[in-house]
Structure 1
Amino acid sequence: MSEPKPIHRISIVPTWSFRDDQGRTLDPQLFVLLRHIEQDKKLTSAARQTGISYRHAWNQLNKWAEFFGTPLVDLEKGRGASLTALGQKLLWAEKRVIARLEPQLDNITSELNLELSRLLEGSRPRLRLHASHGYAVELLPRFAEGFDLDLQYRYGSDALAAMARDQCDIAGFHLPEEAVSSEMRARVEKVLKPRAHRLIRFITRQQGLMVQAGNPLGIHHLSDLERTDIRFINREPGSGTRLLLEELLRRQQLDLTERMEGSPMEYTHSAVAAHLAAGMADVGFGVQAAASQFGLEFIPIEREQYLLACHQRTLEWPTVQNFLQRLASEEFRQSVNALAGYSAEHSGEVFTLEDLFDTGTS
């Protein structure tokens, strides 16, 4: 019996290209070395982690200093290595770019991996999932065993609409655990019907305010967003997190329409957190996992349930049954529970639309 072919998966990572007006270029390995210098504070260790010699790392630092006209790293005998202001700015710029482009790159990656799978492994069952971007959703391709997961990131409302048009098999969206507003309920009931559709419990996650490490401005409540001495970084209109924030402000009778529309925006939780960690804003709204990833303080505001929806007949498919087993597996639950503020306690359980709105909680 021949051994099964290895499953090939590719990933797409953005890279930088530095070129001056004289046509000189620099190796993008720069960011790898800068990341390790930031972490290890030693050039010897950073060079080893980057996979280059100490001498090569030293030469590269000198080339970069000449290229930019100022050093990117300070080297002091007996005190190790540290990034200069420019080195920090470049590193944070890279983190922000990766965080901002993450959903689009993941969408393209999913499409390419599907084509690669078909070419190398032949036809396999395919499950089309449209869902809003998030840390737990990112884990799902790892648990697609015996089928190809066609994962595309969409706003929750767009994912539900795609399912109604038969453009996907399962749609992901999220709602607050506490009282769901009539507007939120109407958006769901516009697409999902009690007899025709079923819901699948996915995860719950903690949303709240992300602030600078140490919370130097003493931000503790949503009402602090009214303060004129703080810089707010918002999410884009239409995103589930932006809609949740606007609903929470309505509950507290806080009219921040002008501020909501006038603030700069980012397109993922990670991008908001990277914006804050780079010192470009003082407060943002997002998930606890993003704050933890970038070393920020977090003020919990609202627990949120992330749900999956499908047509009742879809549940009978062997591929969907396989998917539900993956969601309910201890391995998947442990992976989700390792994310700050996330829980997969009931992941994979099927329930009805009446159950959702009768209880109002997950």
Structure 2
Amino acid sequence: MIDDTSYTPEEVAALLKISKLKVYDLLKKGEIPAYRVGKQMRIESSDLDAYKQRSKGISAVSPNVTNTVASAQPLYGSANSQRERSIIITGQDVSLDILARHLERQLPGMRPLRSYVGSMDSLVSMYRGESDIVSTHLLDGDTGQYNTPYIRKLFVGQSYVVVNMLRRSAGLYVKKGNPLKLESWADLSQSGIRLANREKGSGARVLLDEQLRLHGIPSTQLSGYEGEENSHLAVAGKVAAGEADVGVGIEKAALLVGNVDFVPLIQEQYDLVMLKRDDNRIWIEGVIAILRSDSFRSELVNMEGYDISRTGDIVYEA
């Protein structure tokens, strides 16, 4: 009996006990065949087993998966893999999904894949060669600069370009009416505050940690500091539900969740990083052209909370 079980990249990561980014890297290199059903990527159980056998040094033949599902479009492990070049885009902002759509339409042969991870993990994934376009919004409290201090330390001796994606308002999610009168970072020193926090390495977590450090507020003073939520929406949702008094994030999430007030405290810079290599240069130029295009900007201009006045500007180049 033929095993027709298939998995998502996330399920494969759990089965192999590796990161999702490592799975995307294996897909990108064609080591594990995959196909697309609509917008969802799937990996056949037989192809996963074949990869495991090859990893053990045992020869295995992987079946052709292109006809497994009638509506499936071949992604990797087929003749098309010679013509397509996958581009892994990391980050969680919806603007990256819009960018992926434009890339697929305007750059023939480019297959954008999305990986939803935080800023620091995104940079590390690029350092390891597991991603192509990474988004980041990491504040350096000592200089007041976003992103470049971290990028320059991590990519010493490498060629890269940093391009502005957008700017967006960041600050505090508070209960409706702001009963604790939390209006500044310093107000987090109040005793008994319950915090909904983000995961380590996320831009919001770095922003909070830098502000606590600059204002001399011990993290242990905030109840819930050790907890971790994986998105702005999750943090805003906990505040809206009364499970926390405050959280750090972007304005857009507050607008989407509702029943929560937003206290703007900083205009954060959301940038894209791309390594300059011989096989990357053509599509890097294409990405920058898309960011500067009227069609792309028109999709962002009406979205609340975004400042696109510098979208497509080169922030730093090495």
Shorter-normalised TM range:
0.5 to 0.7
- Residue matched to 2:96: 137
Runs of 4+ in structure 1 displaced over 6 angstroms?
107-111, 181-184
Q: Give the percent of matched residue pairs that are identical in Structure 1 and Structure 2.
A: 28
In the TM superposition, residue 291 of structure 1 has moved relative to its aligned partner by 0.8
- Residue matched to 1:211: 174
- Residue matched to 1:68: none
Code of the residue aligned with 1:118 in structure 2: it is P
Whole-angstrom CA distance in 2 between matches of 1:265 and 1:197: 31
Contact 2:140–2:146 (CA<8 Å) still a contact in 1? no
When Rg is computed on C-alpha atoms for both structures, the one with the higher figure is 1
Contact 2:274–2:284 (CA<8 Å) still a contact in 1? no
Unaligned runs of 5+ in 1: 1-11, 13-102, 355-362
Contact 1:177–1:305 (CA<8 Å) still a contact in 2? no
Whole-angstrom CA distance in 2 between matches of 1:183 and 1:200: 12
Contact 1:326–1:332 (CA<8 Å) still a contact in 2? yes
TM-score w.r.t. structure 1 length? 0.59
Unaligned runs of 5+ in 2: 1-7, 9-19, 25-35, 44-65, 67-71
In the TM superposition, residue 258 of structure 1 has moved relative to its aligned partner by 4.2
In the TM superposition, residue 112 of structure 1 has moved relative to its aligned partner by 0.6
- Residue matched to 2:249: 286
Q: Deviations over 1:25-81 (max 9, x none)?
A: xxxxxxxxxxxxxxxxxxxxxxxxxxxxxxxxxxxxxxxxxxxxxxxxxxxxxxxxx
More moved, 140-149 vs 178-187: 178-187
Please state if 1:118 is matched with 2:74: yes
Aligned Cα RMSD in Å?
A: 3.6
Which has a greater percent of helix? 1
Whole-angstrom CA distance in 2 between matches of 1:184 and 1:261: 27
Compared with structure 1, are the counterparts of its residues 314 and 222 closer, same or farther at alpha carbon in structure 2 (3 Å cutoff)?
Answer: farther
Q: How many residues align?
A: 251
Whole-angstrom CA distance in 1 between matches of 2:253 and 2:282: 35
- Residue matched to 1:94: none
Whole-angstrom CA distance in 1 between matches of 2:86 and 2:253: 28
In the TM superposition, residue 241 of structure 1 has moved relative to its aligned partner by 1.1
Compared with structure 1, are the counterparts of its residues 349 and 121 closer, same or farther at alpha carbon in structure 2 (3 Å cutoff)?
Answer: farther
In the TM superposition, residue 343 of structure 1 has moved relative to its aligned partner by 1.7
Whole-angstrom CA distance in 1 between matches of 2:281 and 2:99: 18
Whole-angstrom CA distance in 1 between matches of 2:280 and 2:145: 32
Q: Deviations over 1:116-155 (max 9, x none)?
A: 5435994553342342322322333332213311221233
Code of the residue aligned with 2:284 in structure 1: it is V
Compared with structure 1, are the counterparts of its residues 271 and 261 closer, same or farther at alpha carbon in structure 2 (3 Å cutoff)?
Answer: closer
Compared with structure 1, are the counterparts of its residues 113 and 318 closer, same or farther at alpha carbon in structure 2 (3 Å cutoff)?
Answer: farther
Whole-angstrom CA distance in 1 between matches of 2:79 and 2:306: 34
Whole-angstrom CA distance in 1 between matches of 2:94 and 2:266: 17
Please state if 1:171 is matched with 2:171: no
Within 5 Å, which residues of 2 pair with 1:236-247? 236-247=199-210
